[in-house]
Structure 1
Amino acid sequence: MTTIDPEITAPPNSAPPALPPAPPAFEARGSGGSAPGNAGEAERVGGTAARPVRRRAGGDPVKALLHRHRELCERAVDPLEIAAGLEAHGITDRTAARFRHRDVFSLAEELYARSPHEEVAAAAPALVPAGPDAFRAVGYALLPAALACAAAAAGQAWAGAAAVTAVAAALVWPGRAAGGRFPYAAHVLAAAVAGWAVYRHGTALAVGLALAVVPGHLAAVAFAAGARARLDGSRALEDFADRARPLLLAAVALFTGAAAAAAALAGTPLPVAVPLALLLFLTRLLLRHGAHRAPVGAALALALVPVPAAALAAVAGLLVHAVLALARASAHARP
């Protein structure tokens, strides 16, 4: 008779042995599953795990630039004013690329559009000055010639000094040179240069310089108007510079011919009168367009040296400085 071990074979009516407890459900960890707290985020992306949103590192660089130059942008009458101001602060077309713009003019247009501006009912000023102020300026330019010619014809001893004072005021004044504590130092130096030259070469030189004041005034006005027109039609700083340099050289050539004619009428030697007139004319242009006075003062101081070639060297150096400084858009912004 076979004996069955009760531990091996259970009785027919007995319940099956209890199974061990099931292991806990698998919990998703890391990026492979969805934790209960991330269920809503998973539902927002269609049941799949959402990727972390990457923030822009740069933010809004134009907004930062707008805050830095807020005063310039708010008082500008057009984007060109902002472009000129940005260039004066050292921002070039290459710098504008970091602000996602192709050039400074495009960047200035966005800054102007994002800045609050007061409504201006008046029309934009004309490129060529007109009206009573323009005629008054021409009248002021005529005074030195009239005073010098009248005093020289009367044979007055003070004719040279009076002409020098009038010429220095008419050729150099007014100026808005940038920086420095002594705004009239360049005007005093210009008067000293003209006075020293007239003292050495006679009253006829003062008359020749006085006759050149009107052509100098007209050439300066024409250059300013032409540069402003080219600024309105330019789309890049290099484009404006390429257009402004020939205009400046044309104005200098025009004034050179007028100064030579004035010197011939006054009976003074051309090698003395023309370089001196050009020096004063370039001084007027640079100061009027906000150039720094250091190169201007250095050129005027060099002209005081009693050497014939000193005036020519001063004119050459100041002309190079003018070609570089007056080809900048910031030199032709509306005051």
Structure 2
Amino acid sequence: MSGGDPVKALMARHRELCERAVDPLEIAAGLEAHGVTDRTAARFRHRDVFSLAEEMYARAARTDEEDPAAGPAAAQGPAPARWALRALLPGALCVAVVAALRWTGGELRLVVGALGMAAVAAGVRLALGRGPLSSEGRSVPGPHDWRTPPGARAWAYLLVGYALLGDGLLHAGLMGGPDDLPDGAPYGDWPITLAPLLALTLSCVPAALSARLFRSGVGRKLTGSRGLEEFAATARPLLLGVVAVHLAAVSGLSVLCAVVLDEHSTPAATAALGALLLIARLLTVHGFTHAPAVVLRAVGWVEIASVCLVFAGRLPGCDLLAEPVETVVSVWGEHAVPLIACGAGALVLLVHACRRLALASAHAPAGPRPPSDR
């Protein structure tokens, strides 16, 4: 690196990154994604990657010189009012569905419930399509690199479905039932618990606000940081704070919904599921899709296996299969199964997010894909 112009040689290797960058921070994030560290920057006569990126940006012949505002404008996304309305939609739809279920009965209730759940799922998809919980404004090599894998989406819906039906089925199984399909009645043979579902859909608003807070906070810290390690040290507490705020919001909504609907519900289990879904979404919209898919699938299988073991224990000579679940439930109740499973999954993803989302390259509005999260 001693001869010639080392920075010019580096710019030649990353010509496309330098030409399309809208600010030095984007170049710094791209360099980090390619393995350039603050120690590496010293070989190019700079104290850190940010300083190196500033020189590269100043010397680059960018392709956006004719319209320098085009890049930042494209990354701003829709107005806050628009994504706020989208975030309100799932909760509003769920409130309407819950009210309709309370006013109907018999077979009509099953039809209303099925159509209502489809409408709520569509509302959630719409809420995640734009705003802070979406990957809008990011430019990546492949068309599907940053999208939620279909399998992860299915497992997320299954976890929400367990919050709606799972505890009731587990309780009925331990009591020797159920003798019939769920009818939506809170005290039936197989009761449906609506409070967690209502709390989770209403929490789309605090989730979107938390994601927006994290994105804007990271942007400010990225601007003020003078090194990759300094940025990582300030980004992690922000992530932990955002998750804590969301946990408090979901817990409060869970208590409120349980009181309004007159249902027995454990806020801790709902909050654990809400935290799991939020952290998985934050990782996904920043390009780290593998770990959320794996953890959501693992948590889903734990919940499915818990119910299956209870029913398998009814087979002759298979009593031992149900004993672990029966022991957990007898000590802590049916809600302990989703609480333990979702809580452990959320903790694993949080540790992973503290590593991955502390990378400057994870927050670049455009440019190369961050390192794989495998």
TM-score (norm 1): 0.75
1:227-306 equivalent positions in 2, closer than 5 A: 227-267=218-258, 268-290=265-287, 292-304=288-300, 305-306=302-303
Indicate yes or no: 2:153 matched with 1:187: yes
Structure 2 unaligned regions, length at least 5 = 102-111, 168-192, 259-264, 307-336, 367-374
Once the two structures are aligned, what percentage of the paired residues are identical?
47
Aligned-pair CA distance for 1:224: 0.5
* Deviation readout 1:184-232 (Å, 9 max, x if unpaired): 3133332233233323143322111011110110111011001101111
Alignment partner of 1:313 is 2:313: no
Q: CA separation in 2, counterparts of 1:251 and 1:200?
A: 29
CA distance in 1, matches of 2:162, 2:283: 22
Aligned twin of 1:206: 197
CA separation in 2, counterparts of 1:181 and 1:125?
22
- Asked if 1:88 is matched to 2:33, the reply is yes
**In the alignment, does 2:209 pair up with 1:223?**
no
Number of residue pairs aligned between Structure 1 and Structure 2? 277
CA distance in 2 between partners of 1:99 and 1:171 (Å): 42
Letter in 2 for 1:64: A
8 Å Cα contact 2:17/2:30 also seen in 1:
yes
The alpha carbon displacement at 1:96 in A equals 1.2
For the Cα contact (< 8 Å) 2:214–2:242, is it kept in 1?
A: yes
Which is worse superposed, 75-84 or 180-189? 180-189
| CA distance in 1: counterparts of 2:69 and 2:290, whole angstroms | 38
Give TM-score scaled by structure 2 length.
0.67
Aligned position for 1:25? none
Runs of at least 5 residues in structure 1 that lack an aligned partner in the other structure: 1-55
- Report the AA paired with residue 91 of structure 2: A
More helix, by proportion:
2
Given candidates 82, 95, 98, the residue that maps to 1:152 is 98
Deviation at 1:181, TM superposition (A): 6.8
Q: Which amino acid aligns with 1:334?
A: P
Judge conservation of contact 2:98–2:194 (CA < 8 Å) in 1: yes
AA aligned opposite 2:269: V
Q: 1:92 to 1:71 in 2, by over 3 A?
A: same
Partner AA of 2:203 in structure 1: A
Equivalent pair of 2:90/2:123 in contact (CA under 8 Å):
yes
Query: How far did residue 333 of structure 1 move?
Result: 1.6
Residue range with higher mean Cα deviation, 113-122 or 209-218: 113-122
Cα distance in structure 2, aligned partners of 1:278 and 1:231 = 25
Greater CA deviation, 304-313 or 114-123?
A: 114-123
Number of the residue aligned with 1:331: 362
CA offsets 1:59-105 (integer angstroms, 9 cap, x no match): 33222211111111011111111001111111111111222211101
Q: Does 1:114 align with 2:59?
A: yes
- Give the SS at the match of 1:59: coil
* Separation in 1, partners of 2:344, 2:93: 30
Report matched runs for 1:1-80 at 5 Å. Answer: 58-80=3-25
Computing the radius of gyration from Cα coordinates, the structure with the larger value is 1
* 8 Å contact kept, 2:200–2:250: yes
The answer to whether the 8 A contact 2:22-2:72 is kept is: no
